[in-house]
């Protein structure tokens, strides 16, 4: 099912007959990264995340990836389709293990993350960039990304690629964290750990995580609600809904800065 990320030619044994490049298979994981010079930083970013996933488990739980959230997001995806599902930036595969789909596919820049995800749930996976997806057009009913848009090297190219691989009428569900000022961040942490419900165990875990082996992510850009919406619309998507705490009080999101965009390919 893989195509060359640059030529979009079907690969035979990971070989592209057009650009004559043979892609690597490392520990059972295809490495399908673009050969274009503007994306040479991808392997370095992947190494950063390999270190993160080697040193940590349940890496993003303190960013709201609780089981309640995973179930909510999986049910949301299933309300649109349980067909062919692609997750961009799957991490350790916790969301995929909750997803219902006839075929689960995932990409990540970290091969270590993909190995953990593959051990958790049966899937097709590869190391790849969203900007150069190694899949034929119109392959998936639903594409998902959770906290990943902020990391795209080129968000317009990545979003256009996601649009390309979706079937007509398919849906893209993406969660982003909109930019907060320092004061807004402090207020958010107070609401999360201190008031109105004091959560001492969660607070101690969060502090220890910041002090011991802190995680530094190579985030490319902050978003606002408006700039994220513009990126999706300029790439051809129609916005069906935006889920946030202010409009959907029942959504298990950690704060009003977390938004889920539901976009569809006409």
Instruction: Report the candidate in 258, 265, 223 with the shortest Cα–Cα distance to residue 242.
Output: 258
Taking the model in full, what pTM does it have? 0.86
Tens digit of pLDDT for each residue in 157-206?
999 999 999 999 999 999 999 866 565 556 666 676 777 888 887 767 75
Q: Residue with structure tokens 């902050």? A: 222
Cβ contacts of 103 within 8 Å, gap of 6 or more: 83, 84, 85, 124
Domains annotated for the chain, with CATH where assigned, are: 40-180+213-264 (3.40.50.150)
Tens digit of pLDDT for each residue in 111-161?
999 999 999 999 999 999 999 999 999 999 999 999 999 999 999 999 999
- Note the pLDDT of residue 252: 95
Cβ contacts of 183 within 8 Å, gap of 6 or more: none
In this structure, the strands spanning 258-264 and 166-177 are antiparallel
């Amino acid at each position: 099912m893989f195509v060359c990320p640059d030529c979009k030619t079907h690969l035979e044994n990971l070989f592209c007959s057009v650009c004559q490049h043979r892609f690597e298979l490392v520990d059972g994981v295809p490495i399908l990264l673009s050969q274009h010079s503007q994306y040479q930083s991808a392997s370095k970013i992947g190494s950063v995340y390999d270190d993160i996933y080697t040193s940590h488990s349940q890496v993003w739980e303190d960013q709201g990836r609780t089981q309640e959230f995973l179930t909510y997001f999986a049910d949301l995806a299933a309300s649109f389709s349980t067909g062919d599902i692609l997750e961009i930036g799957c991490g350790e595969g916790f969301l995929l293990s909750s997803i219902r789909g006839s075929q689960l596919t995932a990409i990540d820049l970290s091969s270590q993350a993909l190995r953990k995800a593959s051990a958790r749930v049966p899937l097709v996976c590869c190391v790849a960039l969203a900007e150069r997806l190694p899949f034929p057009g119109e392959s998936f009913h639903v594409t998902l990304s959770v906290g990943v848009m902020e990391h795209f090297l080129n968000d317009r190219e990545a979003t256009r690629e996601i649009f390309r691989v979706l079937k007509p009428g398919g849906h893209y569900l993406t969660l982003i964290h909109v930019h907060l000022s320092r004061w807004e961040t402090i207020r958010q942490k107070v609401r999360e750990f201190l008031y109105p419900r004091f959560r001492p165990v969660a607070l101690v875990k969060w502090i220890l995580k910041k002090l011991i082996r802190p995680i530094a992510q190579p985030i490319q850009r902050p978003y606002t609600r408006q700039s994220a919406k513009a990126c999706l619309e300029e790439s051809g998507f129609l916005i069906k809904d935006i889920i946030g705490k202010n409009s959907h009080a029942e959504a298990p999101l950690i704060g009003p800065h977390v938004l889920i965009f539901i976009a569809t390919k006409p």
